[in-house]
Chains A and B, each alone.
Chain A
Amino acid sequence: MPDVTERFRAADTLPARDLWSDIVAREPGSPPPAPAGRRVAAAIVALAVVIAGLAIAVRAFHRPHPVVPAGAVANGKILVYNLYASAAHQIWVMNPDGSGMRELRKLPANASLPAWSPDGKRIAFAIANSSSRPMEIWIAQADGSGAHVVFACADHFSTAKCHQVFDGLAWSPGGRQIAFLLGSLYVMNEDGTSLHRLYRLNLRTVSSPPAWSPDGRWILFPRTTGGSPAARGAGNLYLAAADGSGIRQLTHCGPIGHAKCAAVLPTWAPDGRSIAFADETTGAIRTIGVDGSHLRTLVTPPHGMWYRNPIWSPDGKDIVYEEFPMLGSKLPPIVTVYEMRADGSNPITLHVSGQPILLSWQRLPRQS
């Protein structure tokens, strides 16, 4: 019997009536008036942009100059993986206040899923999962120059494995190793040598890159619990010991249908004591202690919207995250990047985009 791929191929035999006469017969004229809901939403977004602009200005003039605490690092630029389909390059950088957005033109055009190295001097990224090209991991300098392959999946694994879900990578705190999920959890040196499987996981439903703890002891990742559909858990967070000594479950969200959380896209606070993640049950940004205690909701989105991709500023004071409308929502497809205090207070708009994005925040050396 035909497999799924063959069935999709056969779909080209479905009839497609010529609709051109229908198209030109539709009411000509100016763009259709937006439904009231969309107008209201657009007005809210416009108002939010104005308020955010004012807020940024107020913060710029009235916030005391940030003092980097001893032992912390300064906040550098934010890498923006802009999924803009028609842009020449998908990876951009912007300043932490949302200004100075620009393309990293020296990177390959199809670079994706970028992550700053811990010293802020390099970028690791993927060229991932296209139907014609197996996954690769690359490293480049901070300006995008010197890009080179360090891991070509096809050199190590079967074609089938190389087209498995790949969701990004994590640098070790010292910048000497890179971890990634490709069915299982793998670790290799930054130059691609010493590749080894740290844990066999049989993951099929990874939804975000792994995250290496600041002290180097743990690699954090989300997964859906196995078992029967009724018993299957929503997304939970797991901590894998980086020395290979075992894995422990951090969140206990409960079975699908009764889940109190569904954790994806986790990131470590710079002090390593707590973790921020996106909760797919409510679209909220939440935090939890590294010992599983103190599960808190920082911000909850308005109806029809999701909050995603929380990232901590390197100085630990702020969290940046994005908001976008759910599929099927009548709200305009506008993605907004917000910055808030790490306790969830004082959210301000950093950037408004027509496209979903992913973020990574550069650490700069400690200021002395």
Chain B
Amino acid sequence: MSETRTRVDPRTRWEDAYREVGPRLQRALLLYSGDLDLAEDATAEAFAQGIRRGSAVRDPGAWVWRTAFRIAAGRLKERSRSAGRLPETAYDPPDSVRDLVVALRELSAAQRASIVLHDYAGYPASEIASIIGSTAPAVFVHLSRARKRLRTMLEDDDA
């Protein structure tokens, strides 16, 4: 009995993953970095690296989040947090989001990554720890401190 095997193009697998998680990842990286160029570049670079690794990556969706955040963290560190560029298309983001992005810049990298991954992307603390290279207890600390600082800054701004 002959066996039919379907050869899946690795690029197709990664494109499916991109269609599924790419836009949300890109927005999360924009919140994290406050920099549209960096967010797009880290997203594209993570997927490009994933394609090159092909089937060696078991779970493209999970892998690419971790890789993209590590790429973005490394580039932010190299640049020592330049001001960056917010989206400047015909679309104007709501003030509430623009204020949020500005406020996020005042947090530490670990606090920003933790709260974006938790409050925006919906990741549990254990997976955030995996993505940013930390521990769940440390992530809880980052979340707690980040929320407190954001609340203070945004409430002060609102006053």
Give 4 closest A-B pairs by Cβ, nearest first.
A16-B23, A26-B48, A328-B77, A1-B158
Q: Is A12's CB under 8 angstroms from B96's CB? A: no
A93 to chain B: closest CB distance in Å? Answer: 18
Categorize the interface residue count of chain B: 35 or more
Q: Cα distance A358–B49 when bound, in Å?
A: 29
8 Å CB contact of A22 from B44, B132, B133: B44
Tell me whether A141 is interfacial, beta carbon within 8 Å: no
- How distant is B61 from chain A, measured CB to nearest CB, in Å? 9
Q: Determine whether the beta carbon of B140 is less than 8 Å from that of A165.
A: yes
**In the assembled complex, how far is the CB of residue B72 from the closest CB belonging to chain A, in whole angstroms?**
9
Q: How far is the CA of A130 from the CA of B53 in the complex (A)?
A: 32
Contact residue among B119, B126, B137 (Cβ-Cβ distance under 8 Å from A167): B137
Nearest Cβ in chain A — how far from B152, in angstroms?
Answer: 10
Beyond A4-B151, A84-B130, list 7 extra A-B contacts (CB 8 Å): A4-B147, A11-B100, A14-B31, A15-B93, A23-B51, A85-B130, A86-B58
Q: Do the beta carbons of B30 and A14 come within 8 Å of each other?
A: yes
- Listed by A's residue number, 16 A-B pairs whose Cβ atoms lie within 8 Å are A4-B100, A6-B96, A7-B96, A10-B100, A15-B93, A16-B24, A17-B26, A23-B14, A23-B48, A31-B52, A32-B52, A84-B130, A167-B136, A167-B140, A207-B138, A309-B135
Contact with A along B76-116 (1 / 0, CB 8 A): 11000000000101010110110110000000011001001
Chain B positions within 8 Å of A131 at CB level: 118, 122, 124
- Rounded to whole angstroms, the CA-CA distance of A288 and B159 in the bound complex is 46
Q: A1-B158, A11-B31, A22-B44 are in contact. Are A86 and B62 (CB under 8 A)?
A: yes
Find residues 1-59 in chain A having any chain B CB closer than 8 Å to their own CB.
Answer: 1-8, 10-17, 19-20, 22-24, 26-32
Contact indicator A24/B119 (Cβ below 8 Å): no
Which of chain B's residues have a CB closer than 8 A to the CB of A16? 22-24, 26-27
With beta carbons under 8 angstroms apart, the residue of B14, B122, B141, B154 that contacts A165 is: B141
Contacts of B22 in A (CB 8 A): 16, 19-20
Bound: A362/B68 CA distance, A: 37
Decide: B141 and A207 in contact? CB cutoff 8 A: yes
Cβ-defined partner of A327 (8 Å) among B52, B91, B132: B132
A32 touches B141 (CB 8 A): no
Cβ of A356 < 8 Å from any Cβ of B?
yes
The complex places the Cα of A264 from the Cα of B139 at a distance, in Å, of 13
The tally of residues in A whose CB lies under 8 Å from a CB in B reads: 66
- If A4-B151, A265-B137 touch, does A330 touch B74 (CB 8 Å cutoff)? yes
- B contact face: mostly helix, strand, loop, or mixed: helix
Contact of B51 among A28, A113, A168, A207 (CB under 8 A): A28
Which B residues are closer than 8 A to A by beta carbons? 11, 14-15, 18, 22-24, 26-27, 30-31, 40, 43-45, 47-49, 51-53, 58-59, 62, 66, 70, 73-74, 76-77, 87, 89, 91, 93-94, 96-97, 99-100, 109-110, 113, 116, 118-120, 122, 124-127, 129-138, 140-141, 143-145, 147-148, 150-151, 154-155, 158
- A11 near B124 with CB under 8 A, answer no
Contacts of A166 in B (CB 8 A): 140
**Alpha-carbon separation in the docked complex, A326 to B108 (Å):** 13
User: Taking CB as reference atom, which chain B residue is nearest A113?
Assistant: B136
Task: Point out the residues of chain A lying under 8 angstroms from B62, CB to CB.
Answer: 85-86
Nearest CB on A from B5, distance (A): 24
Question: Contact: B27 with A12, CB < 8 Å?
Answer: yes
Q: When each residue 93-116 of chain A gets 1 if its CB lies under 8 Å from chain B and 0 otherwise, what string results?
A: 000000000000000001011000
Complex: A325 Cα to B129 Cα, angstroms: 12
Residue contact A83 to B15, C-beta cutoff 8 Å:
no
Q: Given A10-B97, A86-B59, A207-B137, are A19 and B120 neighbors across the interface (CB < 8 Å)?
A: no
Flag whether A206 is at the interface (Cβ < 8 A). Answer: yes
**A2 / chain B contacts, CB cutoff of 8 Å:** 96
Chain B residues within an 8 Å CB radius of A328: 73-74, 76-77, 109
- In the complex the two chains form, what is the Cα distance from A30 to B56 in whole Å? 12
Which residues of the other chain, B, contact A206 by a CB distance below 8 angstroms?
137, 140-141, 144
- Whether the pair A26, B45 counts as a contact (CB closer than 8 A) is yes
Is the Cβ of A26 less than 8 Å from the Cβ of B44?
yes
Docked-complex contact A30 and B52, CB < 8 angstroms: yes
A235 CB, nearest partner CB in chain B, Å: 9
Residue ID in chain B nearest A265 by CB atoms? B137
